[in-house]
């Protein structure tokens, strides 16, 4: 396994400035960073998986070493297929730790050669989550500084279409 390929997995519904901050940091550390969007069965996502991928590709296009893909099934299987040795995850606050620890240790049990690397996003993003972004958007609140302008536009367009 090559240590220089890392996977940054998540739902990214939608990509936030906190995710982007982590991608920017990860891109400096690894030769290749694969942002992997989970194709899950979530009941009411705001964006479809192809829409999330399109937005992620657009907002990460300045980094040639960053790729955006979709995965389904076990993360460790996907990492094996992509020859990645590292899973990158962000920890914003102590409250993230328990869930992240559980996932990292389970992934280690499933594939001991795969390391999880935790990085801290900029502290100004420590309270930011995609879930809160969706909630603020649905309640008509401002999204400036929380998501890239393109994502804000797409959210507004989606909500306007849903309301009409």
Give the residue with the Cβ less far from ligand PNS, 1 or 91: 91
Q: Could you say whether residue 10 binds ligand PNS (CB under 6 A)? A: yes
| Under rule CB under 6 A, residue 16 binds ligand PNS | no
Smallest separation (angstroms) from ligand PNS to the CB of 26? 14
Query: Taking CB under 6 A as the rule, does residue 106 contact ligand PNS?
Result: yes
Cβ–Cβ < 8 Å for 87, 77: no
Which C-beta is closer to ligand PNS: that of 9 or that of 26?
9
Provide long-range contacts, Cβ within 8 A and 24+ apart, for 90-94: 90/18, 90/19, 90/22, 90/118, 90/119, 90/120, 90/121, 91/118, 91/119, 91/120, 92/18, 92/120, 92/121, 92/125, 92/126, 92/127, 92/128, 92/129, 93/126, 93/127
Residues contacting ligand PNS: total by CB under 6 A: 9
| Residue 90 in contact with ligand PNS, rule: CB under 6 A | no
Cβ distance to ligand PNS smaller for residue 41 or 160: 41
Phi and psi angles of residue 31, each rounded to the nearest 5 degrees, phi first:
-65, -40
Give the x-and-dash track for 36-55 against ligand PNS (CB under 6 A). Answer: --x-----------------
Give the count of alpha carbons within 13 A of 103, CB side only.
18
Binding site for ligand PNS (CB under 6 A): 9-11, 38, 74-75, 103, 106-107
């Amino acid at each position: 396994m090559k240590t220089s390929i890392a996977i940054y997995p998540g739902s990214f519904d939608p990509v936030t400035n906190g995710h982007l901050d982590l991608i920017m940091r990860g891109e400096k550390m690894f030769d290749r960073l694969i942002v992997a969007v989970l194709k899950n069965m979530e009941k009411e996502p705001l964006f479809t998986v192809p829409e999330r991928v399109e937005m992620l590709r657009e907002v990460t296009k300045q980094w040639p070493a960053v790729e955006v893909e979709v995965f389904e099934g076990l993360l460790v299987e996907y990492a094996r297929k992509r020859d990645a040795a590292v899973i990158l995850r962000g920890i914003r606050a102590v409250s993230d730790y328990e869930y992240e620890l559980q996932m990292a240790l389970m992934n280690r049990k499933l594939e001991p050669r795969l390391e999880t690397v935790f990085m801290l996003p900029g502290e100004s993003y420590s309270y930011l989550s995609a879930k809160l972004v969706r909630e603020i958007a649905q309640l008509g609140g401002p999204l400036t500084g929380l998501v890239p302008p393109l994502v804000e536009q797409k959210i507004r367009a989606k909500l306007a279409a849903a309301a009409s």
